[in-house]
């Protein structure tokens, strides 16, 4: 029986661990919850120096942006703001990449938001916010909220 020298075994182990994601490099949070406007969803996810505490989709009043981008159609629109409460204990800014969508009873995507938002250094329980317009009809048809988040250095 031939034995692998311990040094070689150690090098193999080191090489394998270097393939694992480090904080902020590929770790992704995913969860699907019942859709509800104006209600917080507890997240409680920590990746590196950043903690995502909770998230919500909040109804907002009609914004100037909605009126300008869809003139004459504002009766069909509802402005919503995705709010992500976070803390960043680092001395550097980080970013959260988001893919947040609401789905109908058949699990078909109605609308949502994909993008990145900066997470300021040294912030504690601050809000990252994304404001946009969506159809009122889609909000009424929404049954579930799919949340995908990834944190990375900015």
Task: Express each pLDDT in 40-93 by its tens digit.
Answer: 999 999 999 999 999 999 999 876 666 666 667 778 889 999 999 999 999 999
- In percent, how much of the chain has pLDDT > 70? 77
Mean model confidence pLDDT for the chain: 85
Reduce the secondary structure of the chain to three states and give it as a string: CCCCCHHHHHHHHHHHHCCCCCCCCCCEEEEEEECCCCCCEEEEEEECCEEEEEEEEEEECCCHHHHHHCCCCHHHEEEEEEEEEEEECCCCCEEEEEEEEEECCCCCEEEEEEEEEEECCCCCCEEEEEEEEEEHHHHHHCCEEEEEEEEEEC
Q: Which domains does the chain have, with CATH numbers?
A: 23-153 (2.60.40)
């Amino acid at each position: 029986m031939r034995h692998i020298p311990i040094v070689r075994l150690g090098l193999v182990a080191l090489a394998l661990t270097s393939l694992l994601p480090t904080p902020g490099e590929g770790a992704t949070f995913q969860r699907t919850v019942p859709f509800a406007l104006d209600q917080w969803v507890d997240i409680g996810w920590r990746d590196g120096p950043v903690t995502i505490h909770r998230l919500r989709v909040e109804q907002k009043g009609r914004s100037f942006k909605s009126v300008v981008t869809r003139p004459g159609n504002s009766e069909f629109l509802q402005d919503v703001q995705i709010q992500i409460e976070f803390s960043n204990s680092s001395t550097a800014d980080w970013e959260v990449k988001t893919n947040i969508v609401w789905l109908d009873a058949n699990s078909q995507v109605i609308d949502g938001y994909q993008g990145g938002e900066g997470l300021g250094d040294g912030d504690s329980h601050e809000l990252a916010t994304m404001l946009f317009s969506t159809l009122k009809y889609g909000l009424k048809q929404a049954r579930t909220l799919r949340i995908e988040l990834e944190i990375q250095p900015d």
